[in-house]
Amino acid sequence: MNRFYSPLLNPTYEGINPDDHCVATYLIGMGREEEPILKAASIGIEQTTGSWTDVPAETDDVRDKYCAKILGVYEVPDYENMTNLRMSVGPDDKRFFIVRIGYPIENIRNNIPLFLATIVGNVASMSFLRLLDVDFGKNFVKEFQGPKFGIKGIRELMNIPERPLLNNMIKPCTGYTPDVGAKLFYEAAVGGVDIIKDDELLGGDRSFNKLKDRVKANMEAARRADEVKGEKTLYACNITDEVSKLKENAMTVIENGGNCIMVDAWTIGLSAMRCLAEDPDINVPILAHCCYGSSAGISEYQGVSSLVQTKLARLCGADIYLAEPPYGKFDITFNKYIRNVTASKSKFYDLKPVMPFVGGGVIPGLVPQFMDDIGYDVLLGAGAGVHGHPMGPAAGAKAFRQAIDACMKGISIHEAARAHKELQIAIDKWGIVGEKNIKDNYAL
Q: In what order do the strands lie in the sheet with 21-31?
A: 69-76, 94-104, 21-31, 129-135, 302-304
Burial zone of 18 (CB within 10 Å; 0-12 exposed, 13-18 middle, 19+ buried): middle
Running DSSP on this structure, what letter comes out for residue 82?
Answer: -
User: Which residues are CB-neighbours of 242 under 8 A, at least 6 positions away?
Assistant: none
**Residue 141 to residue 106: CA distance in whole angstroms:** 12
Cα(309)–Cα(294) distance, rounded to whole angstroms? 9
SS3 content of the chain, % helix, strand, coil (to 5): 45, 20, 40
Segments in 230-333 forming alpha helices (H): 246-255, 265-268, 270-277, 306-315
Cα 181 from chain centroid (whole Å): 26
Q: Is-contact 141 348, C-beta < 8 A?
A: yes
Q: Sort residue 128 into left (φ over 0), alpha (ψ -120 to 50) or beta.
A: beta
Beta-carbon contacts of residue 196 (< 8 Å; ≥ 6 apart):
167, 168, 169, 170, 185, 188, 189, 218, 222, 233, 234, 235, 236
Are 191 and 385 spatial neighbours (Cβ–Cβ below 8 Å)?
no
- Answer whether 189's CB lies under 8 Å from 400's CB: no
Active site residues: 171, 289
Closest CA to 173 of 199, 151, 155: 199
